[in-house]
């Protein structure tokens, strides 16, 4: 009997004594099978519903097909799955796993035009299509609330890391400005993290100083945190770009500690000259880099309003001096010089990994729309996708090989997995590959997130 061949089959050569063929006839198969973990995490922390309360819906209720919460979930889930552009949703709206996760099996989700109107709230009142608006202050509060709720009990101390990074622009966006340090036209968003938790993502023009607006953001966050945890000790940590008198003065007046980088100058270098000589002598004797720390009181000639404690690191490496400085209001009885520099200040470098996750894995640097308001919303949506991925990691993955994995690794290992979706009268089933490498981790995460 002759073999029945499909005209749509693709010939990939041989597989031993057999032919190797393929065809797009597998049925309702999705490459986004792990989206159900995102949906479980969303239900666990109530992200979609709570974010929807930060918006105002001016649409006619009788004509609404997609609820505001579902639009936001769809956009955030897609970002977490690696789909950063709105145009991707013209295909994603039919993805069987995503539709099932959003409770709409066999239905079409919102297309790119509907989601585009969600983000361009500045056009409300200018035409009949744009009827969704958002409250920026409410979204900012939500980020801090989610951070607070992630803790089972109030911590004794929290360290808030501040940093600014570039968001390159390639069009004529509002607020576009050339930044000489980054050598490109860009935005300069301000980020505030506490460990892996994201507390703020503020979009700014790159024409401003790196510390611009940091006092207002820190004051807002600390006020909200202390309303829930009145006894928590707060420490601000940042590089020399945030060593500004207004930020330090605010911290001193509001019982907030700070450990900030301080740009070196000739006066500071002369002050630690004795320690540098000691470091040089030790380095030559041992053949290894040497560090000696100096602890002294210092005040700039014009920019500081008072004297402050400065710690100098006199380091000699590879036959060369490498002086570094920090300024702090932590009393020496509670923080020795070496401890504050090596164990506190130097740990701020971990924040760079969080920025890479936000921008590299979750597309926080995709800000192509004409207005800063719309681009700020896009930044917040990416930030909330990061928060959702952190919830998957924090709740579902402790004790597993993915406990400290980046968002990109979690996406690759747990979210971008194939699933055959079958729909019956009583249930919707996602059938995953029996040989899935992270099967046990996936099942453990499911049990924890759905507990």
What pLDDT digit, counting tens, does each position of 372-399 carry? 999 999 999 999 999 999 999 999 999 9
What pLDDT, on a 0 to 100 scale, did the predictor assign at position 1?
44
C-alpha distance across the termini of the chain, in Å: 55
What pLDDT digit, counting tens, does each position of 185-224 carry? 999 999 999 999 999 999 999 999 999 999 999 999 999 9
Range from 59-63, 101-105, 245-249, 284-288 carrying the lowest mean pLDDT: 59-63
- Give how far the C-alpha of residue 83 lies from the chain's centroid of Cα atoms, to the nearest Å: 16
What pLDDT digit, counting tens, does each position of 132-143 carry? 889 999 999 999
Q: What is the 3-state secondary structure (H, E, C) of 191-238?
A: EEEECCEEEEEECCECCCCCCCCHHHHHHHHHHHHHHHCCCCEEEEEE
What pLDDT, on a 0 to 100 scale, did the predictor assign at position 129?
67
What pLDDT digit, counting tens, does each position of 318-341 carry? 778 999 999 999 999 899 999 999
Whether the predicted pLDDT of 282 surpasses 50: yes
Maximum Cα interatomic distance, the chain, rounded to a whole number of Å = 96
What pLDDT digit, counting tens, does each position of 24-47 carry? 888 899 999 999 999 999 999 999
What pLDDT, on a 0 to 100 scale, did the predictor assign at position 42?
98
Report, as an integer, the average pLDDT of 343-358. 94
* Domain spanning 137-358, CATH architecture: Alpha-Beta Complex (3.90)
pTM (2 d.p.): 0.93
Cα separation, 236 vs 258, in Å, equals 4
447: DSSP letter: H
- When the pLDDT of each residue in the chain is averaged and rounded to a whole number, the result is 93
What are the boundaries of each domain within the chain?
29-131+383-449, 137-358
Q: Residue 431 belongs to what H/E stretch?
A: strand 428-432
Report, as an integer, the average pLDDT of 414-423. 94
What percent of the chain is predicted at pLDDT more than 70?
Answer: 96
Report, as an integer, the average pLDDT of 92-98. 95
What pLDDT, on a 0 to 100 scale, did the predictor assign at position 27?
85
What pLDDT digit, counting tens, does each position of 146-180 carry? 999 999 999 999 999 999 999 999 999 999 999 99
> Which pLDDT band holds residue 125 (cuts at 50, 70, 90)?
low
Cα separation, 162 vs 241, in Å, equals 10
What pLDDT, on a 0 to 100 scale, did the predictor assign at position 203?
97
């Amino acid at each position: 009997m002759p073999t029945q061949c499909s005209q749509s089959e693709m010939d990939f050569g041989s597989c031993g004594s057999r032919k190797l063929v393929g065809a797009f006839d597998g049925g309702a198969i999705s490459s986004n099978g792990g989206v159900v973990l995102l949906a479980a995490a969303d239900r666990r922390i109530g992200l979609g519903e709570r974010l929807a309360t930060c918006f105002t819906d001016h649409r006619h209720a009788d004509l609404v097909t997609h609820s505001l919460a579902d639009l936001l979930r769809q956009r955030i889930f897609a970002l977490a799955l690696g789909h950063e552009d709105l145009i991707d949703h013209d295909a994603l709206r039919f993805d069987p796993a995503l539709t099932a996760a959003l409770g709409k099996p066999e239905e079409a989700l919102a297309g790119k035009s509907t989601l585009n109107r969600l983000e361009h709230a500045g056009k409300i009142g200018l035409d009949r299509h744009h009827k969704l608006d958002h409250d920026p202050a409410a979204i900012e509060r939500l980020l801090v609330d989610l951070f607070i709720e992630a803790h089972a009990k109030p911590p004794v101390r929290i360290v808030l890391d501040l940093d600014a990074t570039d968001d390159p622009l390639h069009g004529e966006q509002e607020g576009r400005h050339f930044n000489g340090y980054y050598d490109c036209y860009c935005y300069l968003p301000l980020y505030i993290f506490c460990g892996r938790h994201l507390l703020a993502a503020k979009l700014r023009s790159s024409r401003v100083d790196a510390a611009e607006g940091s006092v207002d953001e820190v004051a807002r966050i600390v006020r909200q945190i202390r309303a829930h945890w009145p006894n928590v000790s707060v420490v601000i940590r940042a590089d020399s770009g945030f060593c500004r008198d207004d930020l330090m003065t605010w911290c001193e007046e509001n019982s907030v500690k700070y450990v900030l980088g301080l740009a070196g100058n000739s006066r500071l270098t002369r002050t630690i000259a004795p320690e540098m000589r000691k470091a040089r002598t030790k380095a030559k004797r041992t053949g290894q880099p040497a560090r000696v720390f100096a602890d002294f009181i210092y005040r700039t000639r014009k920019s500081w309003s008072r004297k402050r404690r400065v710690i100098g690191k006199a380091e000699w490496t590879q036959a060369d001096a490498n002086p570094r400085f920090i300024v702090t209001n932590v009393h020496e009885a509670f923080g020795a010089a070496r401890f504050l520099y090596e164990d506190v200040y130097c740990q701020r470098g971990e924040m760079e990994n969080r920025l890479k996750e936000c921008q590299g894995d979750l597309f926080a640097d995709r800000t192509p729309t004409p207005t800063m308001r719309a681009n700020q919303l896009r930044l917040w949506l990416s930030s909330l996708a990061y928060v959702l991925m952190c919830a998957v990691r924090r709740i579902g993955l402790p004790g597993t090989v993915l406990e400290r994995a980046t968002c990109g690794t979690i996406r690759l290992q747990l979210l971008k997995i194939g699933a055959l979706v079958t729909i019956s009268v009583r249930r919707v089933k996602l059938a995953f590959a029996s040989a899935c490498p992270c099967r046990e981790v996936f099942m453990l995460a499911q049990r924890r997130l759905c507990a």
